[in-house]
């Protein structure tokens, strides 16, 4: 059973996203909404990672060795300026999208296992991730014309 | 000074008795119709005129809003109009200094700069307009059309972002569009009044007189106040919740849970007229009263008493203002008040209503006409057919009208100016160098040499000192136009006297700019084809047709007949059908914790209201060892905004000539501060020195009024805003105090 690997992947994606959110928030502290909302969303990522932990531990006992090239690297540091903000938010968006698809797949596995406890955690995590995606997408859509055409 | 005057008690269901307030310095030769301009109440007022001078005011007895009464600011405030330091000629900056000039030269400079900036791709993005909640409807509509169809920029907002944006956001979220459900006459019929962060006694004195008169008559309404300060409202209330700042949403979720637990719910109303009950129940279930009491630092018995007052009322009126709007999770908390009324079926009938209040007199018109960036007529920027309606009305290409994202809110406009992508900032009728948060930053932005700053105002201000061009404007009493108050009452304010010197009506300034810029429609005809207030109003009437704020029946003639006409009738939603239909609504919704815009495909509005809920989260900038106290800023009864007028009137100025800090006796004692002592107040951003008032306020919380330019409260406040309404958080900054050493 390989679920543990995907739980690990999702867990790591959540903690990596939390760290990246905080880094972007610090790098763009002059964008007050970014600074506040990245921190708020990072806390949510931490909570979700914590909620996943017991399931990851439980299923780890039944898992074979971790396959190669499981984890991806989507974030390599922040940039500056209006265009830099847009690119940083795009990185966050892609990292959130990775979490989003992981939630979907882990949710499918939870159904296959009839693990309602995991399914509940997934359902909440997936919903919050959808909100994060919508927020990032909207914020980028607002910023794009000014950053790409005007500035 | 007694700002509320003699009581005229009345009982439930009776008409509010008239009271004939009048103040003149000489006998008037004639009376000219107007309405109040120094708060949002919209009182019907007549201006007394002698020759070409204003010599007094009187409340209009037949008016539905004030029944003859005068607010203290209106009683004396008109005298500011004639102060000798009015701006009477345009000014332009030459060699670092402002010098007087003619209109041609001043407007010529603005147009020259505008033409340079508009040329090339993205020219629209180099303009920002920051207006007010104090111009007239015709002026706001004209400005909106210049922005959206002339320059094609989404960068337009008002200082209404600072005072009333949350009201609009909460109404849109719950009911589908902006527009006040309730009516001031609900005070006449209600059996309970809940004031949510609303110090109505100081912000809308005439509305408070109405409430006090009900309290003094037979069958008085019960009263609940939620406020960390012992305001006059809190002292009058039967139940006062001195809540910890930043925790309103936790309280609301707790109260909603108690409504559900006790069965204080109109089940039939909820099932017929709302969606979202299940999710709401799920969210508020996490807020048992003991938990809420800890978060909000209130006693459980107090919260339960408040819940009983709300839950057993048969005709409940709620009013909401800055204690909610300028605090943490503002929109979510204001929406929770809407939820309370939806759950209890307390909407659309006499005495059962919500008043999501406004701060400024014409804030409602900023929102209706689109001078706050919204599309006019409460249209939805994300609905292509709404944009097409406007393109047809204005006869412009649909692509001209910016609708790729929500309008740029004020805080973001200032950020673009800070970064340099906005290069022309046109500020009309407001004084951001005193009213914005973190003033040191605002001064840095205004002082940027690359930023071309236009200031259109009636007096020199702290902001006009930074201007490249200053345009002298006419004010109330010197120009004609309509405006609309917080309960949708429209008044016509007629020109009574000529403006001083070369000062011009704001409408004439905007029309002049449009003509000089030569904005054209698709057929080469002038985009702005109106020439005076009445023709501008007629253009607005066509724009509003078929929308919730439909003005087509409210003509100038009718406004000159009856005193005060409401659009939409006395109350909205009397049949429980809301403006949420997907093809009609103003928004497809926003997620409350992040402000994320919901896509059209996910909107399924069908005329039922939305019950929306989200969890409480702790506010930013929590008190720390370095800054252990919470500062809330606010208002005082005799002053308005940044005192541009009220500070120039001795009767008002002498009541509150300078700022002060209110401290709890324990906090004062801990710092060795006595009443009247000078206190140094510091935040991470700045410091001020003001005298102490040791008085009724929560322990750990201090209050400073925001009106004053010297030792300004906003030197201390932080740049942060609600994610949905984008209203700044003026009531949450961490500070420390020091007595004089």
Cα B460 to Cα B462: distance, rounded to the nearest angstrom: 7
Q: Is pLDDT of A72 > 80?
A: no
Residues 6+ apart with CB under 8 A from B41: B65, B66, B71, B204, B205, B206, B207, B485, B486
3 state DSSP class of B139: helix
Q: Is pLDDT of A61 > 90?
A: no
Q: Is pLDDT of B741 > 70?
A: no
Domains of chain B with bracketed CATH: 22-82 (3.30.200.210), 91-161+362-476+503-544 (3.40.50.740), 165-357+574-610 (3.40.228.10), 629-739 (2.40.40.20)
Better pLDDT: A34 or B622: A34
Q: Which residues of B touch A (CB under 8 A)?
A: 121-122, 124-126, 404-406, 408, 411-412, 415-416, 418-421, 591, 593-599, 617, 620, 719-721, 723
Over residues B152-179, the mean pLDDT reads 97
Dihedral angle, C-alpha B287, B290, B291, B295, nearest 10 °:
120
Cα B231 to Cα B635: distance, rounded to the nearest angstrom: 11
Out of B120-124, B525-529, B540-544, pick the least confident.
B120-124
pLDDT, one tens digit per residue, over A22-58 is: 999 999 999 999 999 999 999 999 999 999 999 999 9
**According to the model, what pLDDT value does residue B178 have?**
98
pLDDT, one tens digit per residue, over B432-488 is: 999 999 999 999 999 999 999 999 999 999 999 999 999 999 999 999 999 999 999
Residues 6+ apart with CB under 8 A from B2: none
Over residues B636-645, the mean pLDDT reads 96
DSSP of B469-484, one letter per residue? EEEEB--TTSS-EEEE
User: Cβ atoms within 10 A of the Cβ of B429, count?
Assistant: 24
pLDDT, one tens digit per residue, over B15-47 is: 999 999 999 999 999 999 999 999 999 999 999
Interface test with A, best of B125, B405, B414 (most A CBs within 10 A): B405
For B135, phi then psi, to 5°, come to: -85, 180
pLDDT, one tens digit per residue, over B195-242 is: 999 999 999 999 999 999 999 999 999 999 999 999 999 999 999 999
Contact A138 B721 (CB under 8 A): no
Q: How far is CA B485 from CA B94, B239, B414, B488, B678, in A?
A: 41, 28, 28, 5, 39
pLDDT, one tens digit per residue, over B305-331 is: 999 999 999 999 999 999 999 999 999
Minimum distance, in Å, between the CA of residue A105 and any CA atom of chain B: 23
pLDDT, one tens digit per residue, over B258-311 is: 999 999 999 999 999 999 999 999 999 999 999 999 999 999 999 999 999 999
Minimum distance, in Å, between the CA of residue B68 and any CA atom of chain A: 45
Domains of chain A with bracketed CATH: 3-64+77-150 (1.20.1260)
B9 pLDDT band, cuts 50/70/90, is very high
Whether the Cβ atoms of residue B67 and residue B61 lie closer than 8 Å to each other: yes
A1 pLDDT band, cuts 50/70/90, is confident
Instruction: Of B196, B223, B209, B230, give the one whose Cα is nearest residue B326.
Output: B196
Alpha helices by DSSP H, listed for B313-438, are 322-325, 330-343, 363-369, 384-394, 410-419, 432-435
Contact A40 B594 (CB under 8 A): yes
Contact B721 A40 (CB under 8 A): no
**According to the model, what pLDDT value does residue B325 have?**
98
Q: Is pLDDT of A73 > 90?
A: no
Alpha helices by DSSP H, listed for B326-383, are 330-343, 363-369
Cα B451 to Cα B413: distance, rounded to the nearest angstrom: 12
Instruction: Of B158, B150, B141, B142, give the one whose Cα is nearest residue B123.
Output: B150
Tokens 């961490």 belong to residue: B734
């Amino acid at each position: 059973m390989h679920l543990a690997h995907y739980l690990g992947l999702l867990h790591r994606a959540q903690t990596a996203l939390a760290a990246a959110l905080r880094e972007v928030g610090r790098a763009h502290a002059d964008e007050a909404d970014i600074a506040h909302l990245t921190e708020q969303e990072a806390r949510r990522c931490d909570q979700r990672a914590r909620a996943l932990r017991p399931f990851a531990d439980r299923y780890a006992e039944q898992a074979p060795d971790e396959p190669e090239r499981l984890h991806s690297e989507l974030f390599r540091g922040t940039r500056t300026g209006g265009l830099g903000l847009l690119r940083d938010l795009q990185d966050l968006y892609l990292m959130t999208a990775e979490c989003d698809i992981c939630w979907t797949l882990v949710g499918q596995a939870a159904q296959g296992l009839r693990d309602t406890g995991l399914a509940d955690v997934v359902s909440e995590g997936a919903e919050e991730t959808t909100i994060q995606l919508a927020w990032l997408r909207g914020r980028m859509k607002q910023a794009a014309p000014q950053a790409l055409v005007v500035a | 000074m007694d700002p509320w005057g003699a009581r005229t008690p009345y009982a439930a269901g009776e008409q509010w008795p008239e009271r004939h307030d009048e103040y003149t310095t000489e006998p008037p030769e004639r009376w000219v119709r107007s309405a109040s301009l120094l708060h949002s109440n919209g009182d019907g007022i007549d201006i007394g005129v002698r020759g070409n001078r204003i010599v007094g005011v009187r409340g209009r007895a037949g008016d539905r809003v004030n029944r003859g009464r005068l607010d203290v600011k209106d009683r004396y405030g008109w005298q500011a109009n004639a102060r000798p330091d009015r701006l009477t000629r345009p000014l332009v900056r030459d060699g670092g200094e402002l010098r007087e000039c003619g209109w041609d030269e001043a407007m010529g400079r603005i147009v020259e700069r505008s033409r340079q900036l508009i040329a090339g791709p993205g020219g629209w993005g180099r303009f920002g307009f920051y207006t007010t909640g104090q111009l007239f409807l015709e002026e706001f509509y004209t400005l909106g059309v210049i922005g959206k169809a002339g320059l094609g920029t989404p960068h337009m907002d008002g200082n209404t972002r600072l005072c009333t944006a949350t009201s609009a956001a909460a109404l849109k979220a719950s009911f589908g569009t902006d527009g006040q459900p309730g009516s001031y006459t609900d005070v006449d019929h209600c059996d309970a009044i809940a004031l949510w962060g609303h110090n109505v006694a100081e912000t809308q004195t005439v509305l408070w007189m109405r409430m006090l008169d009900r309290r003094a008559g037979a069958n008085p309404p019960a009263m609940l106040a939620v406020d960390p300060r012992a305001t006059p409202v809190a002292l009058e209330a039967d139940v006062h919740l001195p809540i910890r700042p930043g925790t309103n949403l936790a309280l609301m979720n707790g109260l909603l849970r108690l409504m559900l637990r006790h069965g204080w719910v109109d089940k039939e109303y909820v099932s017929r007229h709302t969606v979202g009950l299940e999710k709401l129940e799920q969210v508020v279930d996490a807020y048992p009263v003991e938990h809420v009491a800890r978060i909000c630092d209130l006693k459980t018995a107090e919260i339960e008493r408040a819940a009983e007052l709300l839950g057993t009322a048969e005709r409940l009126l709620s009013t909401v203002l800055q204690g909610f709007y300028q605090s943490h999770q503002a929109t979510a908390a204001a929406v929770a008040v809407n939820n309370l009324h939806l759950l209890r079926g307390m909407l659309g009938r006499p005495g059962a209503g919500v008043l999501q209040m406004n701060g400024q007199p014409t804030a409602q018109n900023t929102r209706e006409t689109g001078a706050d960036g919204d599309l006019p007529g409460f249209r939805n920027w994300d609905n292509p057919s709404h944009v097409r309606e406007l393109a047809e009305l204005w006869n412009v290409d649909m692509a001209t009208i910016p609708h790729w994202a929500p309008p740029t809110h004020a805080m973001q406009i200032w950020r673009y100016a800070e970064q340099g992508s906005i290069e022309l900032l046109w500020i009309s009728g407001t004084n951001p160098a005193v009213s914005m948060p973190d003033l040191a930053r605002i001064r840095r932005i205004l002082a940027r040499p690359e930023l071309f700053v236009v200031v259109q105002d009636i007096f020199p201000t702290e902001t006009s000192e930074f201007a490249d061009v200053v345009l002298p404007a006419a004010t109330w009493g010197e120009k004609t136009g309509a405006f609309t108050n917080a309960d949708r009452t429209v008044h016509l304010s007629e020109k009574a006297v000529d403006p001083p010197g070369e000062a011009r009506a704001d409408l004439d300034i905007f029309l002049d700019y449009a003509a000089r810029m030569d904005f054209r429609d698709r057929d080469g005809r002038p985009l702005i084809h109106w020439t005076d207030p009445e023709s501008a109003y007629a253009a607005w009437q066509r724009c509003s047709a078929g929308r919730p704020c439909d003005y087509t029946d409210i003509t100038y003639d009718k406004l000159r007949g009856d005193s005060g006409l409401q659009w939409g009738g006395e109350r909205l939603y009397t049949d429980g059908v809301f403006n949420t239909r997907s093809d009609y609504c103003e928004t497809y919704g926003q997620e409350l914790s992040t402000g994320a815009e919901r896509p059209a495909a996910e909107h399924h509005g069908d005329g039922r209201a939305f019950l929306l809920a989200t969890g409480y989260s702790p506010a930013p900038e929590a008190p720390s060892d370095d800054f252990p106290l919470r500062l809330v800023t606010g208002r005082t009864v005799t002053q308005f905004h940044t005192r541009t007028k009220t500070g120039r009137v001795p009767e008002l100025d002498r009541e509150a000539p300078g700022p002060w800090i209110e401290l709890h006796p324990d906090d004062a004692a801990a710092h060795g501060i006595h009443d009247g002592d000078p206190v140094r107040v510091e935040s991470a951003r700045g410091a001020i020195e003001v005298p102490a008032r040791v008085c009724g306020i929560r322990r750990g919380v201090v209050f400073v009024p925001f009106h004053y330019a010297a030792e300004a409260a906003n030197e201390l406040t932080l740049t942060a805003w609600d994610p949905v309404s984008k209203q700044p958080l003026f009531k949450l900054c961490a500070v420390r105090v020091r007595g004089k050493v």
